Amino acid sequence: MSMEETIMTLVVKSGQARSAAYEALGEAKQGRFEEAQQKMRESAQWVMEAHDIQTELLVMEARGEMNQISLIGVHAQDHLMDCMLARELITEMIELYRALSHKKDKEDGQ
């Protein structure tokens, strides 16, 4: 795989991770917490794959196999950082939705 293909794969996997996390948030908004957790597990898998690519690129750079900074490489790093931050915030938001749901259930006498 060429360097550009590797970097674009990092962008795609990061995007998939972020998309799955936002789908999880949508499930939580509807009170479907098991589905939300499944989407977050899916997101975690995409992040792990993206992180493996990032690690591969860092190792290549450390070995001197990459000696130039490319705009697309920076873009890929931005995507990975963005998805990781989104996942952290969405995890907290899901927990808030869960707490609100439990509070509502108690108020409704369930």
Question: Which has the minimum average pLDDT: 5-9, 16-20, 86-90?
Answer: 5-9
- Is 82 annotated to bind a ligand? Reply is no
pLDDT of residue 110: 61
What letter would DSSP give residue 65?
S
CATH tag for 3-108 (out of 3.40.50.2300, 3.50.50.60, 3.40.50.300, 1.20.58.80): 1.20.58.80
Catalytic residue at 102? no
Query: Among the options 51, 75, 79, 102, which is catalytic?
Result: 75
CA atoms of 41 and 55, how far apart (whole Å): 21
Question: Which has the minimum average pLDDT: 2-6, 79-83, 95-99?
Answer: 2-6
Sequence-ordered alpha helix ranges (H) in the chain:
3-29, 33-62, 71-107
